[in-house]
Copies of this chain bind each other. A is one copy, B any other.
Amino acid sequence: MAKELTSRAENYSEWYNELVVKADLAEHSAVRGCMVIKPHGYGIWEKMQRVLDDMFKETGHQNAYFPLFIPKSYLSKEAAHIEGFAKECAVVTHYRLKNAEDGSGLIVDPDAKLEEELIIRPTSETIIWNTYRGWIQSYRDLPLLINQWANVVRWEMRTRLFLRTAEFLWQEGHTAHATQEEAVEETLKMLDVYADFAENYMALPVIKGVKTASERFAGALDTYSIEALMQDGKALQAGTSHFLGQNFAKAFDVKFATKEGTQEYVWATSWGVSTRLMGALVMCHSDDDGLIIPPRLAPIQVVIVPIYKGEEQLAEITARVEPILKALKAKGISAKYDNADTKKPGWKFAEYELKGIPVRMAIGPRDLENGTAEVARRDTKEKKVKPLEGIEDSIAILLEDIQSNMFKKAKDFMESRKTPVDSYEEFKKVLDEKGGFVLAHWDGTAETEQKIKEETKATIRNIPIGNPLEDGVCVYSGKPSNQRVLFARAY
């Protein structure tokens, strides 16, 4: 294992890039902007999927699957939507290859040109609402609560593993409702689901709020987000939930018969989180020695490393470890016993530290004599000698403690980086010297928002839900304002 990570202090960005690759989470593929998600990374993503999927089903949603391809004309039907996505579309124009007549190799067959080009979905509102037209006739068909797990493509020019890739994996919920009120309620409900997931599984504290008009999803009337803070003081948007009004219903002519017999357009929401969450997970928690995975999302929660000389000692240790593995499994704890003889214990320790396994147990001959094991937790690196008798119980408690400790640490960090400022000078100073969220009065105009962005690279992350009203003046324009909004430099 070639460890030697760049430290966060030295170069945070480089630290992230190296860590993702060295911890076997993902790597760049030979295809521009597309990543390969490696087994360790995919294992964490699978855990995320399972938890989220259960949460979606718990709140009444079902999964379905819609085509990868979107006819070009569909994208154009919702004006704001196409404006937002036209510039980053992968376009399929042909459906066959053939051998070149001059023997130069394989070429695209010009006779196999599509009549209408197909776009690889950058998001599926258009193809889904075109389908919903056939599914919705009456109020009895509503609400329609559907989610899709899928790959999507947005042709980003500058890509970074997990944070911004041309192809990424995500889920996209698309719901249809009889009333505006119900659709808004759904939008906020799913925002809560995301916040619950981020905080209680990813150990990632977030701020829920509504986006400004200029940061809205292309085609939405309102976009809500959860915003998290990374260790370098930059914000990261971890999930969004959109109230789409009747925009897509009108674009695709989806009406329903009300109880009263009138015809009305359907109300819509959409909401999504993606493999970008993997980037947030890494950047929020990890350290200069590698990943730190919150126990609830760790594919392997405990690794047991035997310290031995010779076959006989190994056999003795293995005999004692086997019932422990069973007991851990019975408690729903995933454990791995690494008895590979091709690698030394020290190498294994560093490897599992790099990969962020929450708990490491080491057992040697002296431990067997004493009936103990050395238990190390990844988050604080604290080591303790614990009795083997009933160790599954102490490990279960330890895992919960790690989970809550990780959240607390991240929460304390975020709270310490929420700074109210009252002047533009202070605004810029805090951004440069401390980073994090800056709470400042804003005059509510897109012009000011844009100016601030150009001058400081800070954007309004969101206007927090339940934000206290407070009279003040915009730090930029001096015009009146009735609340502080959440600024930050962001990923």
Query: Which residues of A are in contact with B by a Cβ distance under 8 Å?
Result: 27, 29-31, 34-39, 42-43, 45-46, 62-76, 82, 86-99, 105-106, 108, 117-120, 127, 130-131, 134, 140, 146, 150-151, 153, 155, 167, 169, 342
Contacts and interface: CB of A to CB of B under 8 A. Distances in A.
A87 B96 contact: yes
A66 B29 contact: yes
B29 A67 contact: yes
B95 A92 contact: no
B36 A65 contact: yes
- Interface residues of chain A: helix, strand, loop or mixed (majority): mixed
- In the A-B complex, the 4 residue pairs with the smallest Cβ-Cβ separation, listed nearest first, are A34-B67, A39-B62, A37-B65, A86-B97
**Most chain B CB within a 10 A radius of its CB, from A29, A74, A75:** A29
Given A45-B65, A91-B96, 12 more contacts: A27-B134, A29-B67, A29-B131, A39-B146, A72-B97, A72-B106, A75-B97, A86-B96, A86-B99, A87-B96, A90-B95, A93-B94
Contacts of A63: 39, 42-43, 46
A67 B35 contact: yes
Nearest to A70: B31
Contacts of A64: 36-39, 42
The winner among A31, A46, A73, A134 for most chain B CB atoms within 10 A is A31
A38 B342 CA distance: 49
Given A29-B131, A62-B42, A118-B31, A155 B95 contact: yes
A116 to B, nearest CB: 10
Number of copies of chain A assembled together = 2
Contacts of A43: 62-63
A114 B106 CA distance: 16
A153 B94 CA distance: 13
A42 B53 CA distance: 13
A93 B93 contact: yes
A281 to B, nearest CB: 16
A31 B72 contact: no
A95 B88 contact: yes
Nearest to A67: B34
A342 B140 contact: yes
A69 to B, nearest CB: 5
Contact of A91 (B39, B92, B153, B155): B92
